[in-house]
Amino acid sequence: MMYKKGMGEHVFDSFNYLILSLLLVITLYPCYYVLVASVSNPVKIFASNGLLFYPKDFALYTYTEVFKSAPIWNGYKNTIIYVLSGGFISVSLTTTAAYALTRRGLPGKKTIMFLILFTMYFSGGLIPNYLVVKGLGLLDTPFAMIIPNAVTTFNLIITISYFRGLPYELEEAAKIDGANDYTVLFRIMLPLAKPIVAVISLYYMVSIWNGFFHALIYLNKRRLFPLQLILREILIKNDTASITTAQPDQAQAYAENVKYATIVVATVPILCVYPFLQRYFVKGVTIGAVKG
């Protein structure tokens, strides 16, 4: 049963492809710029009139600079640990809670929802949060990177709204067949929720990957520092410290390039996660069409 394409359809399609291609160029160019700038001669990129199409004086200095340092590698290791373990805990807490909070007739559901929402707007601020983390003995442990921010209300809300859309009949049928709540959750609901699990996994992993503030506050031991914190220090090294003690200004001309190389180094690994999860988004299409 193919619908016959009319003239309008073709115009629409071409128009659509045109717009998306344009968007592709607009998005890609600045990213390409970062990449090209990171392997260019630092001084030459200032002569580029803002436009840069190919590396000027190809040089990998910035990358050797970035990768030379041992802390970077250690940072990678830490970040990967935090992302995997933190992502797992976060997704587990969020999906289980979302499942529970979408059960029909659960007493106190409205109140709990309101109280959760409330925390999006009112929080304690830096000092009390620190006191809690300190009181629990989490300071200077990897747990400080995972637990204090395990659940993001926004993610919880979108997960809840997804669960709400799942057919209730499935649960009822399973219950009649004698399944308990855990079976319903793990055997029926979770497989159906793959698309949203993929989305929030990505959200959580990315936010842990990019996060540095908690490390800044809760960690003292440098060997626990995540990648982003190390990179931040590379980024700001040229300004602050040398000025406060007025040291011989030996800083080389690479500051701007190191900035770009840093982005590339910090971004590429997490970018690779998306295509894997994207598969689940597409799979979600077929699973989403399951009938009762």
Partner 1 sequence: MDATATITKKGRAVKKHIWREVKKFKHIYIILAPTLLFYIVFRYAPMFGNVIAFQRFSITKGILGSKFVGLQNFKDFLTNYKFWELLRNTLNINFLGLVFAFPAPIILALLLNEVKRLRFKKTVQTITYVPHFISTVVVSSMILTFVASDGMINAIRQMFGGEKISFMTNSQYFYPIYIISDIWQHIGWGSIIYIAALSSVDQELYQAATIDGAGRWKQLLHVTLPGISQTIIILLIMRIGQMLSVGFEKIMLLYNPAIYETADVISTYVYRRGLLEGDYSFSAAVGMFNSIINFILLIAANFFSKKISDSGIW
Partner 2 sequence: MRLFCKVFIFKLVLVLTLGLAGCGSKETSNLNGDGRIPKSLTIFAPIGSYAIKAGANDNNDMLPYQLMEELTGCHVEWIHPASGAQDEKFNLLITSGSIPDMMVYNWKNVPGGAKLYVEDEIIVPLHGLIEKDMPYLSTFLKGRPEIAKQIMDDDGGIYHMPFVRADAELKVYAGPQIRQDWLDKLGLEVPRTTDELYDVLKAFKTLGPDIKPMSGVLFENHSHGIGNLVWAFGTHYDFYVADGEVKYGIMEDRFEEALAYVAKLHKDGLIDVDYLLNDRDKMDGKVMNNQVGFVYSLQPGKFYTSMNDGERKVIGIPHLTGPYGDQNCFFPDYANDTTKVSIAITTANKNPEGSAKWLDNFFGGKGLEYMNFGKEGLTFEWVDGYPKLTDYILNNPDGKSIQDMAGINLGAYQSQFPTLQDWRYYEQILSDWGKESIKIWQKDADASGILPTITFTEEESQKVTQIMSQIQTYVSETMNKIVIGQASISELPQRRERIKTMGIDEVLKIYNEALKRYINR
Residue 51 as a binder of partner 2 (CB under 8 A): the answer is no
182: tokens are 């855990």
Residue 47 as a binder of partner 2 (CB under 8 A): the answer is yes
Helix (H) or strand (E) holding 287: helix 273-288
CA dihedral 112, 116, 121, 126 (to 10 degrees): 130
Contact region for partner 2 (CB under 8 A) — 14-22, 51-59, 154-162, 216-224? Answer: 216-224
Residue 282 as a binder of partner 2 (CB under 8 A): the answer is no
Applying the rule CB under 8 A, the residues between 104 and 143 that interact with partner 1 are: 105-107, 110, 112-129, 131-132, 136
Q: Which residue has the tokens 């999006």?
A: 120
146 binds, among partner 2, partner 1, none (CB under 5 to 8 A by kind): none
Residue 164 as a binder of partner 2 (CB under 8 A): the answer is no
Q: Find all residues with CB under 8 Å of 231, minimum gap 6, and list them.
A: 72, 75, 262, 265, 266
269: tokens are 């690994």
Residue 128 as a binder of partner 2 (CB under 8 A): the answer is yes
Residue 232 as a binder of partner 2 (CB under 8 A): the answer is yes
Q: How far apart (Å, rounded) are the C-alpha atoms in residues 163 and 194?
A: 11
Helix (H) or strand (E) holding 124: none
Residue 136 CB, shortest distance to partner 1, in Å, is 8
Contact 172, 251 (CB under 8 A): no
Nearer to partner 2 among residue 60 and residue 251 (C-beta): 251
**45-49, long-range: CB < 8 A, 24+ apart:** 45/256, 45/257
Q: Phi and psi at residue 137, in whole multiples of 5°?
A: 70, 25
Q: How far apart (Å, rounded) are the C-alpha atoms in residues 66 and 250?
A: 18
289 binds, among partner 2, partner 1, none (CB under 5 to 8 A by kind): partner 1
Applying the rule CB under 8 A, the residues between 199 and 218 that interact with partner 1 are: 199, 202, 206, 210
Q: Which of 111, 180, 250, 286 binds partner 2 (CB under 8 A)?
A: 250
Nearer to partner 1 among residue 59 and residue 150 (C-beta): 150
Residue 65 CB, shortest distance to partner 1, in Å, is 17
Q: Which residues bind partner 2 (CB under 8 A)?
A: 42-47, 69-71, 126-128, 130-132, 134-137, 215-217, 219-220, 222-223, 225, 229, 232-234, 236-253, 255-256, 259
